[in-house]
Amino acid sequence: MRQSNTIFSKTPTGVTGLDEITGGGLPKGRPTLICGTAGSGKTVLAMQFLIKGITEYNEPGVFMSFEESAKDLTQNARSLGFDLERSIVQKKLKIDYVRVERSEIQETGEYDLEGLFIRLGHAIDSIGARRVVLDTIESLFSGLNNTAILRSEIRRLFQWLREKGVTTIITGERGDSTLTRQGLEEYVSDCVIVLDFRVIEQIATRRLRIVKYRGSTHGTNEYPFLIDEDGVSVLPITSLKLTHTTSTDVISTGLPGLDKLFDGGGYYRGNCTLITGSAGTAKTILASYFALNSCRQKEKVLYFSFEESPDQLTRNMLSVGINLKPYIKSKLLLVHSSRPSLHGLEMHLLSLHKYILEFQPRTIVIDPISSLVTIGSRGEVSAMLSRLLDMLKMHQISALITSLTHAQPINYNAMAEEAISSLVDTWIKLRNEERNGNRVRSLYIEKSRGMGHSTEIRDFIITNEGIKILNADSVTQQSGNGAEKIHQFSGNGSKRKR
């Protein structure tokens, strides 16, 4: 076409993540086609583009709807927290519902869509609109017979919009073999975005892909996105690079006995720590220590619990002397529980991302990550974890992740461990083994990037005052005889399972 090879300016959509993968937004003053199956979120995305334009960039917008009446749109937008009425009153937004009812209209002879042009032109001029949405212009084809006229007029409309210099989103329903039923992608050559809504193993995932963006580089992957009470958010997870800065700050593990095993006296800030162990090896307790310590430093902690509800967690931790309640009350600690099967993996990642952005914690705990593994394939899990950890590192958030492994070395269940172990900076292994007729808990540091650490395997016990790590002497003295050691401490309090 006639465009020169200058760098195009872009119009930010204000949609979380979308501006990142498009390198700044949609092509300014040109039309963008957003196509997808029914219910894939086209209208919501388009509406959000207008609303954000009004609220964040002071760009008035026109929404020309061919499917939903202004009333329906207003109602739907309200459920996403957008108050359209106010914007309309303020002359920042104009909704025009173009009703094309086949049964009410006769066609005879030649006509054009000049009426539509005039309507749209008038709407744009009346509020000085910079943004326009046409949702869904293909509805014209079901209302009118003369497709030849429609095609040439729609082509003319897009050209006209370009000349008007308004940034436009045109939505289109996905066709069988084409991106849109009427092949609108032929007319919109600037930017085409496809939305997809898939259900795999009963779990629904929305995805977004930029098929084409003339004159601009863009992310080419499929990006998962989420529609919730705040509208659309896209997670540009794979665009992350290994460029995060690192900290030399050391933070305590929350357990003095464990701190001593690290030469630096704890974890590095912004590090990711993995704690693995079989059932009942006190993973959650160790995680809670870490959370508690962070709270004591007045640093916010976000605790994702995939197995226990917040109440259950606080009760169970109280039984080993960890009182989380005051910190939940003072809002230093936020426990977020959800079922792994609630969403697909990507959705979990997205919601983690959203919570992290909202709550702005310095520390997060994911307990346990292995629950998520049950819902995804190996490749997915590994990809998801690397994205998550990259994101945490970028924000300099210290993370502690627990993962359940089986006591016996069963290969198939080492999945989470394998997927994650190369990504984490510190790895603590917990064990619960049988020695001389007793179950003895022990821990050791498998790895600790950038910090020397003890190589000892330390036994520990759980009392109602918490975890006691037994000193190395007793281990060396009594190696192979854990039973005696337990007796030493049995007076201290009842032993507990997690």
Binding site for another protein (CB under 8 A): 96, 98-100, 104-116, 118-119, 121-123, 140, 144
Residue 62 or 430: the one with the smaller Cβ distance to another protein is 62
Q: At what angle do helices 114-127 and 147-164 cross, to 10 degrees?
A: 20
Residue 155 or 214: the one with the smaller Cβ distance to another protein is 155
| For residue 205, cis peptide bond before it (omega within 30 degrees of 0) | no
- How far apart are CB 166 and another protein at their closest, in Å? 16
Query: At residue 433, what are phi and psi to the nearest 5 degrees?
Result: -120, 165
| For residue 136, cis peptide bond before it (omega within 30 degrees of 0) | yes
Question: Which DSSP state fits 453?
Answer: B
- How far apart are CB 32 and another protein at their closest, in Å? 22
- How far apart are CB 101 and another protein at their closest, in Å? 9
Query: Do strands 131-135 and 167-173 pair parallel, antiparallel, or not at all (unpaired)?
Result: parallel
Q: In Å, how far are 106, 169, 172, 209 from 141, measured between CA atoms? A: 14, 18, 12, 26
Amino acid code (one letter) for 57: Y
- How far apart are CB 167 and another protein at their closest, in Å? 22
Q: At what angle do helices 283-296 and 310-318 cross, to 10 degrees?
A: 90
Cβ 385 vs Cβ 323: under 8 Å: no
- How far apart are CB 36 and another protein at their closest, in Å? 25
Query: At residue 19, what are phi and psi to the nearest 5 degrees?
Result: -70, -30
Positive or negative CA dihedral for 260, 264, 267, 272? negative
Residue 106 or 411: the one with the smaller Cβ distance to another protein is 106
Residue 104 or 473: the one with the smaller Cβ distance to another protein is 104
Residue 146 or 432: the one with the smaller Cβ distance to another protein is 146
Residue 117 or 197: the one with the smaller Cβ distance to another protein is 117
Lookup: tokens for 240: 């992350």
- How far apart are CB 150 and another protein at their closest, in Å? 10
Residue 64 or 440: the one with the smaller Cβ distance to another protein is 64
| Distance from C-alpha of 454 to C-alpha of 166, rounded to nearest angstrom | 64
- How far apart are CB 94 and another protein at their closest, in Å? 9
Residue 122 or 296: the one with the smaller Cβ distance to another protein is 122
- How far apart are CB 38 and another protein at their closest, in Å? 23
Cβ 45 vs Cβ 15: under 8 Å: yes
- How far apart are CB 23 and another protein at their closest, in Å? 36
Residue 105 or 204: the one with the smaller Cβ distance to another protein is 105
Residue 111 or 465: the one with the smaller Cβ distance to another protein is 111
Cβ 367 vs Cβ 349: under 8 Å: no
Residue 118 or 342: the one with the smaller Cβ distance to another protein is 118
Nearest in space to 224 (alpha carbons), one of 382, 353, 385, 347: 347
Cβ neighbours of residue 85 closer than 8 Å, sequence gap 6 or more: 74
- How far apart are CB 3 and another protein at their closest, in Å? 30
| Distance from C-alpha of 173 to C-alpha of 380, rounded to nearest angstrom | 29
Nearest in space to 248 (alpha carbons), one of 449, 83, 22: 449
- How far apart are CB 125 and another protein at their closest, in Å? 8
Strand partners, 305: 337, 367
Cβ 484 vs Cβ 478: under 8 Å: yes
Torsion, Cα of 84, 90, 93, 96 (10° steps):
90
